[in-house]
Each structure stands twice: as structure tokens, then as C-alpha cells.
Structure 1
């Protein structure tokens, strides 16, 4: 007797199961995740919710065949995740990236299984994470850092303290300070001896105190 085919993970009560060929492909993918990859029921539930939303989006575009999904549809869904244009709740960048990752994994599976001639999600980039400002050091922390860097008074210690002083005092980028020449901190090009030229001699150069 051949082994029984594993049943797909149960759909929670109150959650409507999408229909059609895409839904069948999704059920097979969830079985794959549970049996082959050993994902927990909680993780499977997250995949199910994310991909059900994707199938509803595709249904709204009249798509019900894995081979009919193109990159434009995947990209439009990723945009809709952030805006809520698909009728779902707008997601944060991190939640949208998680859903986009689920979509990419599903399409990789469909392509590997021969259910689609190409992977339409392979070139779709997830939403970029939000950019956060770096945490600033306190004045006391900076003073301590400079003190430690210059401890001992050796040439190397004095060099390290000088580099940190320039970084802190000018707001320069590390690459700009590393690229400094002697003429950038002294010489006829700078009338004010308390200034430094950052960025070299090109159009993007700037002089700061």
C-alpha cells in the first residue's frame, strides 16, 4: 500500500480558504513546509495568512494560474502591502518584508516543482527597512573615549586621539578622514587654520571648522 499523502495544515476557524489552482498549489507548499522543512504550526500559520492575502490580491487581478503570475503582479502586491491598496491593513516595512519573503519562497517552490515556467518574484525586492538615526554618544562618553584613545602619549595613541577629535569635531565620515592629506588641514588653500577640507578637491568638497 502506498504511503498516505500528508494532509495540509488545518485552516483556522473563521479563515476563508481561497479556491482555484493557486490555492491548490498553496496547500501543497504548506505541506512541503511542514513535512520537508519541519516548520511549527505557528510559523505555518503566519505563512498561510501572508499567502492567503497574496492569493486574494491575485484573484482581484483575475489570476488563478501559477504560470500566469508575472513580476508586475508581485511588485504591485509588495506596494499594496505598505499602502493597503489591496483592501488589507497597511503593514510596517518589517511586516511587509516578511510577507514578501513568503511570496518569494512560494514562487521558488512553484518554479522548482515545474508549475511555472519562470520565477516572477526573483527580481522583486522587498520593501527597504526604515532608516533609523544612530544613537549619539553623550559628551561624557566622548570625553572618556578621547581620554582612553590618547592614554600613554605614544605616537600611535596621539594619532588615534587626533583621528577621533577630527571625527567628533567636524562631523566627518570615516572615509573622509582616512582620505585626508596634509594640505587638507593646513596650507595656502585654507585661510582659517581652524578649518579642514573634507571630500578632496572635487565639486563635493566642503570646508568645515
Structure 2
């Protein structure tokens, strides 16, 4: 079997059988397509460990991040494990392929005062009644108030919100659902948007039947993650001092929860992390802030 044909079959397998997220499937498909392009003259059965090592070495020489190379390693390992189980290859050439350790960098985090000032400014702008301003205010309040991912926010439908309990039902990675709370400011901003902003945006569409999305674009269709990223980057970038997206609000929410005394397990459940180790990075952020405060305030620091 040709390598590219096998790669396509594996992409369908992880999508339909393993039911990985759409983003993971796209990343794996791109990685395997790149490997197939680098080894276009090879049949699947001809691939050996040295071919895989050379492919990763070329990525290293290009300057690809360690996290990218680690993901590529995972992609080909999964691919050849599947090919071996399916009887497409006699032996798995990736068994001895070693992935680089992922570098752990601290996320961009805005201070609580900075986020509060930003949201207050958005509230003043939204008070004029512009539907896009109302949406942007609600969007940032919900992202920060609930600590959800941008894909989870864009996937919210009207019946996912429980206004009385101030909770939202979101679908995270691996199609796992969880219920997350949000506070009074987010509830107020969301209510103002749903009453005055969303109907105005929806009216810009010719066909509005069946549209259940909460957050809409300027033309009345469901807001996509790319558009939401642009909104957050435009308003949050100057506060953080770098190019950031919606994840910076999620990072900030998690860090501020820990700073306020929330336990790690609670933050893990709120964020929808499968592993506690993923959540633990925020303890390092809090420790950095604690150390900085100590150096500034303690007379013998």
C-alpha cells in the first residue's frame, strides 16, 4: 500500500473510531502528509526507523518547536501502531522512535486588575447599544468568567446556558461535556447581548431559521474560533503586551483562581483538563507572582 493512501485511512480511523477532536485529526493528517511527501518514493512496508528519524531531524533543522516534533512523533507512532495491528506492516518501525521532551513555558497572564479594567471599558463601550460591542463584551466576560476554550465558547447554543444557576454546558476535547459556572458580571453581559445584541446580528441574515448559536458574527452566522481569536487579540493584546488570543484569558482565569485560594482539583475540573499535570503549570505562574511580590515588599529580599 502507498504511504499516502495508508495515511488517509488512518486519518479516517482516528476521526471515526477513536473519535479524536477535529483539531487533533487535522494536525495528525498534516503531519502524516508531510511525512508522506518526504518519503514519496516509499511504500508503507518499506518505511524503517531511519526514515522516521531523518524526517524528524529535518524538522529540527528547520527550527520546529519541540512540542511540534513531539506531536509529530506521536502521530507516526499512532499511525504505525495502527498499521501493524491492521496487518499492513510486518513490524512497527516507530517502536524505538524517541520523542524530545516538551519544553514547558509559562503562559501569558494578565493581572486581575488589568482584566477588570479591560472588561469595565468594554462594558462602557457596549452601553451605547452597538450589537458587535455587546457581543464582544459578553464574549470576553464569558471566556474569563468560565475559563473555557474558544472552541467551547463558539460551540455554545442557547439551550446550553442555565441563567438561573449561572452555568454553561460546554463540549470540550474528545467530545466530553462538562458544566461550568460563571459569575454575575458575565451573566449581566450575556443577558444584555442576548436581549439587545444577538437579535440585531441575527436580523442581518436572510435565513435565520434554526440558528441556535449564542455568539454570532457581524453577518449573523455562528462566530468561528478564528474570528473570536481576532476579537480577543485586538482588545487583550495591549493589556498583556504581546500578541495573545483567547487562551490568555483562560490562563488568567486559572491563575487568578489559584491566587484566590481555589484548590488544584477544582481548577482542573473547571478547565476540563484530563491530567492534573496540565493544570499544575498554573501553580508555577502563581509562584512566580508570589516571588516577585516578595522581592518588592520584603525588607530583606
Given the two structures, how large is their TM-score scaled by the length of structure 1? 0.49
Higher helix share: 2
Between Structure 1 and Structure 2, whose CA radius of gyration is higher? 1
